[in-house]
Amino acid sequence: MTTPVVQARGIVKRYGHVTAIDHSDFELRAGEVLAVIGDNGAGKSSIVKAICGATIPDEGEILIEGKPVKFSSPIEARDMGIEIVYQNLALSPALSIADNMFTGREIRKKGWMGKILRMLDKPAMEKFARDKLTELGLMTVQSIKQPVETLSGGQRQGVAVARAAAFASKFIIMDEPTAALGVKESRKVLELIQDVRARGIPIILISHNMPHVFEVADRIHIHRLGKRLCTIDPKDYTMSDAVAFMTGAKEPPAQDAA
Amino acid sequence: MSDTTTPASKGQDFEQTLDQSDTQVASFETDQHTVLERIQHLLHNNPTLVPVIVLVISLIAFGLIAGGKFFSAFNLSLILQQVSIIGILAAAQSLIIITAGIDLSVAAIMVLMSVVMGNLAVFAGVPSGLAILVGLAGGVGAGVMNGWFITRIKLPPFITTLGTWSIFYALLLWLSGAQSIRGQDIDTNAPFLKFFGAAFNIGGARITLSALLMIVVFIVLWFMLNKTAWGRHVYAIGDDKEAADLSGIRTDRTLLSVYGLAGFVCALGGWASIGRVGSISPQSFYEGNLDSITAVVIGGISLFGGRGSIMGALFGALIVGVFRSGLRLSGVDVLWQVFAIGWLIIIAVAIDQWIRRVSA
């Protein structure tokens, strides 16, 4: 078996008397969609935040492609090719689609205009943004220069996913990507997830929506009481099994179920 | 992974009918745009259009009311001259307001630094060039101080600059001994301080260097805000600071640079004000803080941050100048000038709110 993309062992995070992560393990394999599910307060976002550097764990080790890492911020993780699609999308509504795709990693013009005047190469950025959106079948917007606030919820999600897909070389974390969307728009995002996976980029999908999880996930990481309860293959279990495991209504299978 | 070669899956049972669903996107009678809606859209895409239109209309209106003396090259260049210092302050203020902040200390920084320059060059015998450099550096320092309180101590910009306004004002009274530095003393000891007071004539128009400086400041800042990554970050921070943070912008560092740059522009305004006024008075420009905010707001820059072009503030400053000059030449009492500008502010903010309500 190839080295997992992410391997975390014995992660602990305490906030005062509260233990958010309690000696939890985590594993993301190459090319897969791994769904992370769990009840509210189970700590599923905490464990994912620990992996991308948004919180710094007190104990435990994280290996990315076999190499131990210690991120102190999501920006460091991003520099390594780890992209996050936040639930609130982290887009600037008044800026254009192209500007938003390049926030924090703009392309400068070549020559003295870029070096001395630090001038942006807007045509190059717009072309790149248009290409990426077309690749993902999202070029339904009229203009790449239009502000993000004029887009629908699904289109905005599309821009955020396209941004992640364009720059991710290791993996993408998506936090509740369908939570705020309608049926049609959710479908589009699920197709996007499958598209991105087809390019070989693994995805960590945090979601409450069982039908969506069971549809796109290759494996499901069930989080309960601050640690990984088990990992299951969605083909072997039903949605009610998964819900039973995560709420503690049913004993989980052995750790290596999937 | 095998399903990646087949077309995307059909999804859940309840979604099977999606294929037959209406392919039209919810349109809400889009082709029934009223004229008002079209205007709203146009303004939303070009926020500087409002002040431009207002400027043109007020020029025409005052030209009709006050006649030829208003439209003379001399009077128009006089307006430019009169707004130059407030215009430079408004440029600094725009930077701050675009980040969703506000700076009540801009005029205090400006006057303080002009006093620093004057004291050094006129009384301490420091070469003028060096005195000016110290003043400009002091402006950066004062701005960074504001920025430090705002980014490190996490104080709201309003409170921070309300405090530093008093602090800088007290300092400038102390440094100047509440005394003006007379024009003759500047002329004999440090004429270079009055550099921006120099003027040249083109066909009846009298253009001062301070007016040119104002225009250059606006062009440089416009370039920085619109053509560099730094500028995009400034807008992103004003738009949604949290989102800017998450998308990898070092927001605190950027904010600090914005306040430092604003301080520098204020100090530059301080140098220009010596030439414009002819002397250095600690009492001058006491209302400059509010006048700069007035120009920014009339210029269509949103007080909520992230929206508007810095060029709007230039037009805003010009509109105020045109109103003042036009009403004066029409023989209207000064109090009605103040009255009119009050209404301009309220109308400008109302239009901003109306434009922001635009949807898709």
Is position B14 within any domain?
no
The rounded distance, in Å, linking the Cα atoms of B47 and B279 is 38
User: For residue A147, what are its two tokens?
Assistant: 């502000």
Q: How far is CA B54 from the centre of its chain?
A: 17
Q: How many whole angstroms separate alpha carbon B202 and alpha carbon B77?
A: 10
pLDDT above 70: residue B22: no
B7 pLDDT above the threshold of 90: no
Rounded to an integer, what distance in angstroms lies between the CA atom of residue B207 and that of residue B319?
18
Query: How high does pLDDT run on average in chain A?
Result: 87
pLDDT band at B229 (very low <50, low <70, confident <90, very high): very high
In a domain, B289, yes or no: yes
The ipTM, to two decimals, is 0.84
pLDDT of residue B135: 97
pLDDT, averaged across chain B = 88
**Residue labelled with tokens 């494996």:** A219
C-alpha to C-alpha distance for A254 and B18, rounded to whole angstroms: 39
Assess contact for A84 and B245: CB atoms under 8 A: no
Highest mean pLDDT among A20-24, A155-159, B233-237: B233-237
Instruction: Return the structure tokens found at B276.
Output: 């414009």
Q: Does residue B15 sit within a domain? A: no
With an 8 Å Cβ cutoff, is B3 touching chain A? yes
B28 pLDDT exceeds 70?
Answer: no
The pLDDT of residue B8 is: 45
pLDDT (tens digit, 9 = 90+) per residue, B202-224? Answer: 888 889 999 999 999 999 999 99
In a domain, B2, yes or no: no
pLDDT at residue A171 is higher than 80: yes
Window 191-230 of A: residues touching B by CB (8 A cutoff) are 191, 194-195, 197-198, 211, 215, 218
Is residue B4 domain-resident?
no
**Residue B19 pLDDT grade (very low, low, confident, very high; cuts 50, 70, 90):** low
H-type helices in chain A, by residue range? 44-52, 74-79, 97-101, 112-115, 122-135, 153-167, 183-198, 210-216, 239-247
- Give me the CATH code for the A6-81+168-257 domain, please: 3.40.50.300
Q: Which residues from chain B sit within 8 angstroms of residue A178, using beta carbons?
A: none
The reply to whether B222 touches chain A by the CB within 8 Å rule is no
Of A93, A118, A198, the CB nearest to B239: A93
* CA–CA gap between residue A29 and residue A24 (Å, rounded): 17
| Structural domain boundaries, residue B74 | 46-354
Nearest to B8 among A90, A93, A194 (CB): A194
Tokens describing residue B104? 């009540």
Which amino acid would we find at residue A240? S
A18 burial via Cβ count (<10 Å: 0-12, 13-18, 19+): exposed
Q: Nearest CA of chain A to the CA of B45: how many Å?
A: 9
Exposure letters B269-282 (e unless 16+ CB within 10 A, then b): bbbbbbbbbebbbb
Q: What is the pLDDT of residue A1?
A: 58
Give me the residue spans of the domains in chain A: 6-81+168-257
Taking an 8 Å cut-off on Cβ atoms, the answer to whether B11 and A190 are in contact is: yes
Contact indicator for B108, B176 with CB cutoff of 8 Å:
no
B54: pLDDT strictly greater than 80: yes
Q: Is residue B234 part of a domain?
A: yes
The answer to whether residues A203 and A219 touch, using CB atoms and an 8 Å cutoff, is no
The percent of residues in chain A predicted with pLDDT above 90, rounded, is 31
Torsion of CA A68, A70, A76, A81, to 10 degrees: 20
CA distance B336 to chain A (A): 37
pLDDT digits (tens, 9 = 90+) for A119-143: 888 889 999 888 888 887 776 666 8
Q: What CATH number is given to the structural domain containing B57?
A: 1.10.3470
**Single-letter amino acid, residue A75:** I
CA distance B66 to A199: 70
Q: What is the pLDDT of residue A154?
A: 82
Confidence of residue B26 (pLDDT cuts 50, 70, 90): very low
Q: Is the pLDDT of residue A219 over 90?
A: yes
The count of structural domains within chain B is 1
